[in-house]
A and B are shown apart, each in its own frame.
Chain A
Amino acid sequence: MELLALILIPLAAASVLMAFRPAAGTARGLALASTLLTFVLTLWLWYTWGGETVIGIAKDWVPAWGMRFVLGYGGIGLLMLLLTGLLFPFIIGTGYKQPVGDAALVNALLLFSQSALFGVFMAQNAFLFYIFFELSLIPIFFLLLYWGGEHKRAITIRFFLYTLLGGLALLFSIAFLTLQTPAPHSADFTALAALDLPMDTQLWLFWTLFLAFAIKMPIFPFHSWQPETYTMAPTQGTMVLSAVMGKMGLYGIVLFLFGIVPAGTAHWQGFVITLSLIGALYAGVIAFRQDDLKRLVAYSSMSHMGLMSAALFTMNAYGISGGLYQALAHGVLMVCLFYIAGMLFLRTGTNDMGRMGGLKARMPRLALLFMLVVGNAISMPLTQSFPGEWLMFNGLWQLKPWMALVGIPLIVLGAVYMLYAYQRVLLGTPGETAGLELHDADGEEHFLLVPLIAITFVVGIFPNTVLHLVDAPVHQLLNLFPPLP
């Protein structure tokens, strides 16, 4: 029942907002209350979780196509639920200081997408997964279309088509897989995972499935929608896209590729890791050359995602746990970074780092908050990203040492572009915007950033709080994989 509530609470709140269009303050309050309620619910699920897969609700929908309404979660799903539950209150909270457009509509759209995202992470039936997967896209589409920046129409349509292409490839695969199950067909993940598909099928099926998730994350070379969309989108939209929706890709890889076509995945493993690492390096280099702060964060997100994908595809315990653990860390990081970019935009009216500089003297507290976040971004020890990065590199090393070696410039690059950005914005000679009426970070902004930064340190010091979630499922997955030659 509480699983259904996770989907229904945001849905109900969004419907109320849509139907009655309350004033901005009420709308935000209601949205925040709803997201906090769902966060408490996810915490409750975490607290009561006993380590096994929980099935909360199972109802037949269209039995002829194996379509069933099954909601449940295992450790990995729970991690994703926690991520969604944790981050949405902050994403809604962003609207207080950095409002866009009609508050009732914006919050309604955000809540709709949250509802669908919960659905994605709880669906235990491939068909249901697909439905939520597509539904999560529609509110974001409107958010971008209405309140995006320059060239919003063209960029939004491109983003939409790109992701739908992936979605249709996924649908194709699900339809094919369902028909392979013994009659009466079932699209439940358990039934699909029990399929022992012949190797040649797995080889092509891997790609039709991978396409969907590679676009969503995104992984090089399927990324070309991402930087522009992240830059153009309103801050809250970018947060949902980068912090939560990108994780659908990671989750999908574990669920579909590892669970259903393990042999195919093992066959393409090296190729995909190479792609991911190329993408990570490439995005890192581009991030270094950016003048636009939001765009820099967008590329840094892509760089991190590339590394996470590479780590997942090592298909060993270190790599997979590291990649999954990092999903949460990356989500928290993205919300922080985009929030700070928004704060700076609010004060200076620009994202152009060339026009900033020397702002630290005017805004010391903002500078401190930024520093702490940057610490997390470059994986300083004691921050949340450090254990994740360590695990991921360990995983890569175990597979092929050269892969971990390729990752070393990545660490350097990440530190360089983040610190360089910090320097250009806050240090050095005062830029042209330094003369503006700048006020330092205020109480509300601390209220949003401090808890997130606190989480980074708590999890950084006690990574096991998160890692224990994925421990058992990862070992279960490892049993599925064919032994390495």
Chain B
Amino acid sequence: MSALILISVLGVLVLYVGLFGRKDMLAPVGILGVLGAIALFATGWHIPHELLGGMLEFDGFSTGFSLAMLAITLLVFLFGPDYYARMANNVAEQYALMLFSLCGGILLTAYNNMLMLFLGIEVLSIPLYVLAGGKKYSLRSNEAALKYFLLGAFATAFLLMGIALLYGLTGSFDMGVLAKHIAEAGTGSALLRFGIFFVVAGLAFKLGAVPLHFWVPDVYHGAPTLVTMFMATVVKMAAIAGFFRFVDITGMPDPLARILVLLTLATMLVGNISALRQTNFKRLMAYSSVSHAGFMLLALLSDSGTEAGNGADVGRTLLYYSFTYALATAGLFILFIIAKRANNGDEHHQIFRGLFQTKPWLALCGLAMLLSLAGIPLTAGFVAKYQVFLLAIGAGWLKVMGFGVLMALLGIYYYIMVARELFMASEEPVTFTVSPLNGLVIAACTIGVLLLGIWPQLVGVWA
């Protein structure tokens, strides 16, 4: 709780720092605050506790997810001063909005009550609508903000509808009561089925799961790249955490499983197929995020509830998967911005050409992160995918998993296409300027991805 308060206050504090015109102090204050929140969470690790009369429940899962999201936010903030160096006004708001959004994300990892679910989604989303339009005079950025807002509003309405139906069924917002009702009365009632359907629709929208993914490429493409980076990493983690809690606490009733299978198959298929022909790197990463959502859904699909089944395993896998995905994605986005600057704002993936000639270590870092996203052994992405496949086999989803394996192959194709560019010679000489701090962040992401890949127990989740 104290961490949650700290982050909210930190957001306000950052706004005040901006008010007094100390642009140079914004990132340091933000980073210190995030470090403080990490410390607060880290000290409370392994001590489950309930808040607000049981509406929030911080257990190992939510603490782990919160820590991971904070760590990624830290990376985003470390890159912030560089990214916003050329922006004169309203920088403080950008940091503050990200912090507010993060608060929503933390709520999503820990809710035990559907009101908190709704609150979390809203607190997570509303700052993002503003952030997506961060480039005031860019047509694409405005398009992104408007699309995101309109579609997001619809999704919220769906979610609310679902919550209302479930409330009508049980007379309570409490997830525990819902789970008990399902266990006792079965899944026959239409209220329950429609309720679950609508709630899942709302959550799937946030996660960017097919067929509710149409906003993803446009918003990722149009939003300022740092915001895209934040959305592709922290927001994704929050969404999957929220989804997991809903599935896990309800114990995967039958109608939910049926929706999830379709979602998983569609997401893996559409995400990977659409990514194949992308040449704009941001859109490619957008579809890559959809396809990774598909693999995370596959893990989710294998869940049979913490009480009775493998819920704890699924939670750990999702944490590991989303964290390592976020690490690689964050590093690649920074690399992308560096390359984009070197090529006068071009976003085609050919901008990476010549990187190996001029900055070989950077190219190798990029390769490691791309291979991790593709799921090649000795990287964290491989361990993550393997664990997902193990879960799916264990839960008996053999055919769905076989399909996933094929889709993973497609995934390797488009990541390798980018990796190829890293090592191609460029026609005209390009100078990539990398500040030491940026180099350090990229190196940290790479080391994280490799270390977690070679030694998965490092995060302490698999004993």
Is the A/B pair a real complex?
yes
Chain A interfacial positions (CB closer than 8 Å to B): 62, 64-65, 130-131, 134-135, 138, 141-142, 145-146, 153, 157, 160-161, 164-165, 168-169, 171-172, 175-176, 178-179
For B409, the chain A residues whose CB sits under 8 A away are 161, 164-165, 168
Contact partners of B378 in chain A: CB under 8 A: 131, 135
Which residues of A are found within 8 Å of B394, using beta-carbon distances?
179
B377:A65 contact, CB within 8 angstroms: no
Most buried by B among A65, A135, A138, A175: A175
Report, nearest first, the 9 A-B pairs whose CB atoms are least far apart: A131-B377, A64-B462, A168-B405, A134-B377, A175-B389, A172-B405, A175-B390, A62-B456, A179-B393
Give the complex CA separation of A146 and B386 in angstroms.
30
B401 touches A (CB below 8 Å) = yes
State which residues 369-417 of B face A: CB under 8 Å: 371, 376-378, 383, 386-387, 389-390, 393-394, 398, 401-402, 405-406, 408-409, 412-413, 416-417
Separation of A395 and B387 alpha carbons in the complex (Å):
42
Main secondary structure of the interface of B (DSSP, over half): helix
In B434-463, which residues have CB < 8 Å from any A CB?
456-457, 462-463
**Hey, which chain B residues are within 8 Å of A131, CB to CB?**
377-378
- Bound CA–CA A176/B389 (angstroms): 9
B424 to chain A, nearest CB (A): 9
With contact pairs A62-B462, A161-B413 given, residues A175 and B377 touching in the complex (Cβ less than 8 Å): no
Residues of chain A within 8 A (CB-CB) of B405 are 168-169, 171-172
Measured in the bound complex, the distance between the Cα atoms of B423 and A153 in whole Å is 12
Taking Cβ atoms with an 8 Å cutoff, the residues of B that contact A are: 371, 376-378, 383, 386-387, 389-390, 393-394, 398, 401-402, 405-406, 408-409, 412-413, 416-417, 420, 423, 456-457, 462-463
Q: How far is the CB of A26 from chain B (nearest CB, A)?
A: 19
User: Shortest Cβ distance from A210 into chain B, in angstroms?
Assistant: 15
Q: Is the CB of B416 within 8 A of A168?
A: no
* Complex Cα–Cα for A134 and B377 (A): 7
A172 adjacent to B389 (CB under 8 Å): yes
Task: List chain A residues, Cβ under 8 A from B402.
Answer: 172
**Complex contacts, B413 vs chain A, CB 8 Å:** 157, 161
For A62, the closest partner residue in chain B by CB is B456
- Judge whether B412 and A161 touch: CB under 8 Å: yes
A384 vs B419: C-alpha distance in the bound complex, in angstroms? 42
CA distance A160 to B406 in the complex (A): 14
Most chain A Cβ neighbours within 10 Å, of B377, B383, B409, B463: B377
Contacts A62-B456, A164-B412, A176-B398 given; 17 further ones with Cβ under 8 A?
A: A65-B387, A134-B376, A135-B377, A135-B378, A138-B371, A142-B423, A145-B420, A145-B423, A157-B416, A160-B416, A161-B413, A168-B406, A168-B408, A172-B405, A175-B390, A176-B393, A179-B393
Q: Is the CB of A171 within 8 A of B423?
A: no
Contacts of B386 in A (CB 8 A): 65, 171, 175
Contact across chains for B417 and A157 when beta carbons are under 8 A apart: yes
Q: Tell me which residues across on chain A come within 8 A of B423, comparing CB atoms.
A: 142, 145-146
Q: Residues of B contacting A153 with CB < 8 Å? A: 420
Distance (Å) between the CB of B315 and the closest chain A CB? 15
Contact, CB under 8 Å: B412 / A172: no
Contacts of B406 in A (CB 8 A): 168
In the complex, residue of chain B having the shortest beta-carbon distance to the beta carbon of A130: B377
Q: Shortest CB–CB separation between residue B350 and chain A, in angstroms?
A: 13
**Chain A CB within 10 Å — which of B376, B398, B402 has the most?**
B376
- Nearest residue (CB) in B for A134 is B377
Residues of chain B lying within 8 A (CB to CB) of residue A169: 405
**CB atoms of B377 and A172 under 8 A apart:** no
Shortest A208–chain B CB gap in Å is: 8
B393 neighbours in A (Cβ, 8 Å) = 175-176, 179
Q: Tell me the minimal C-beta distance from A27 to chain B in angstroms.
A: 16
Closest CB in chain B relative to A134 CB, distance in Å: 5
The interface residues of chain B lying within 8 Å CB-to-CB of A141 are: 416
Closest to A131 in B: B377
Residues of A within 8 A of B420 (CB): 145, 153, 157
Quote the shortest CB–CB distance from B362 to chain A (angstroms): 14
Bound Cα distance A65, B406 (Å): 22
Q: How far is the CA of A65 from the CA of B393 in the complex (A)?
A: 13
Instruction: Give the distance to chain A from B200, nearest Cβ to Cβ, in Å.
Output: 28
Of the A-B pairs whose beta carbons lie under 8 Å apart in the complex, a sample of 26, sorted by A's number, is: A64-B463, A65-B390, A65-B462, A131-B377, A135-B377, A135-B378, A141-B416, A142-B423, A145-B420, A145-B423, A153-B420, A157-B413, A164-B409, A164-B412, A165-B409, A168-B405, A168-B409, A169-B405, A171-B405, A172-B402, A172-B405, A175-B386, A175-B393, A176-B398, A179-B393, A179-B394
Q: In the assembled complex, which residues on chain A have CB atoms less than 8 Å from the CB atom of B463?
A: 64
Q: Which residues of B contact A172 (CB under 8 A)?
A: 389, 401-402, 405
Distance in Å: Cβ of B219 to nearest Cβ of chain A: 30
Q: Closest A-chain residue to B413, C-beta based?
A: A161
CA distance A169 to B393 in the complex (A): 14
Nearest neighbor of A204 in chain B, beta-carbon distance: B398
